[in-house]
């Protein structure tokens, strides 16, 4: 189950980064082009992509609460931060802290070939 949970968390991180990128592209490229350049094409393309990624992000938060036993603080914080540009990335940086996901086990990579390890 640990390996499956790690895959879920990694997918959650990827969706959070994609959602942030779609938010920034919508706010910084598509919307200014719509209002300053009278060109709505990017809003009609990026808008639904952003909406789908946001819904997937919220669904993954709920799934993390139900399936992976994430604490409610992490889920509420993640839901609130999903409304802010860069919020999912901010949350991702704190996901390994025990106050957010106490059931997560921090895995530190082993450093091979350390001097004096014999």
CA distance 57 to 82: 8
Q: Give domain status of residue 102, yes or no.
A: no
Asked whether the beta carbons of 24 and 38 are under 8 A apart, the reply is no
Residue 24: per-residue pLDDT? 93
Q: Give domain status of residue 100, yes or no.
A: no
Asked whether the beta carbons of 50 and 16 are under 8 A apart, the reply is no
Q: Give domain status of residue 105, yes or no.
A: no
Percent of the chain with pLDDT over 70: 76
Query: 29 or 92: whose pLDDT is higher?
Result: 29
Q: Give domain status of residue 99, yes or no.
A: no
Residue 102: per-residue pLDDT? 55
Total number of domains in the chain: 1
pLDDT for 2 beyond 80: no
CA distance 58 to 31: 23
Residue-wise pLDDT for 52-96, tens only, equals 999 999 999 999 889 888 888 888 988 998 998 888 888 888 776
**Residues of the domain holding 61:** 2-94
HSE, CB side, 13 Å, CA atoms: give it for residue 17.
Answer: 8
Q: Give domain status of residue 115, yes or no.
A: no
Q: Give domain status of residue 104, yes or no.
A: no
Q: Give domain status of residue 108, yes or no.
A: no
CA distance 79 to 73: 10
């Amino acid at each position: 189950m640990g390996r499956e949970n790690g895959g879920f968390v990694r997918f959650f991180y990827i969706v959070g980064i994609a959602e942030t990128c779609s938010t920034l592209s919508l706010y910084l490229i598509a919307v200014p082009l719509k209002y300053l350049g009278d060109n709505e094409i990017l809003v009609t393309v990026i808008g639904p992509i952003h909406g789908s990624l946001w819904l997937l992000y919220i669904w993954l938060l709920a799934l993390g609460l139900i399936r992976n036993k994430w604490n409610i603080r992490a889920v509420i914080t993640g839901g609130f931060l999903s409304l802010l540009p860069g919020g999912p990335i901010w949350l991702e940086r704190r996901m390994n802290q025990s106050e957010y996901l106490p059931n997560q086990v921090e895995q530190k990579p082993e450093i091979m070939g350390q001097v004096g390890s014999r």
